[in-house]
Amino acid sequence: MTRLFLMNGERAPGGSGRSATAPATPPAIAHAPGRSRWDIAWLGGRSSAPWVVLAAALVLLVAAAGTAYTYLRPGGLGWGTRLYSIPNGREATLTFDVTKQPGRSAICDVAAVNSGGGVVGRQDGIVIPALPGGPRTTAHTVRVLTTSPAVIVQVDTCRLTSR
């Protein structure tokens, strides 16, 4: 029994899975007349493909410049939690990193918060000293006494002090 399939309005040999007009072997990597390597159909063809590549390169360049600016700017200050623990309902411990220019000092405030979002403990005025020639990022550990059980302890704010 021979099965015939109708593909593209023409009969194809049974079970071949190809249309009767499809070439038996794919052509070698060749471009159609008038096409170039930049003629990428899913990018919009020859006229827009180079612009897509250029736009992607510009986005990467802007991202790299922004990262460098953030890292190297003189007033750059950042902080993040490294580790916290709440061993009991009366205290919490926070280890946090501060990133700043080594020659500048900073002051940070730490708050312990309960499950309702209320502040149950605070440690203000933690001095992060200037360390000329030292590392940009330093770790600091603070113990905060709480009035009731806390669920998290975090850096509330940090600010650079005058030189």
30-39, 70-79, 83-92: range with lowest mean pLDDT: 30-39
Indicate the pTM of the whole model. 0.55
What is the Cα–Cα distance from 43 to 35, expressed in whole angstroms?
14
Cα angle, residue 9 at apex, residues 6 and 11 outer, rounded to 5°: 45
The separation between CA 134 and the C-alpha centre of its own chain, rounded to angstroms, equals: 28
Tell whether the model's pLDDT for residue 50 goes beyond 90.
no
- What is the rounded average pLDDT of the residues 86-110? 91
Cβ–Cβ < 8 Å for 94, 113:
no
Question: pLDDT (tens digit, 9 = 90+) per residue, 113-134?
Answer: 999 999 999 999 999 998 888 8
Coil, strand or helix: which one is 61?
helix
Written as one string, the DSSP assignment of 145-157 is E-SS--SEEEEEE
Report residue 122: phi and psi, to 5°: -145, 145
Residue 77's pLDDT is 85
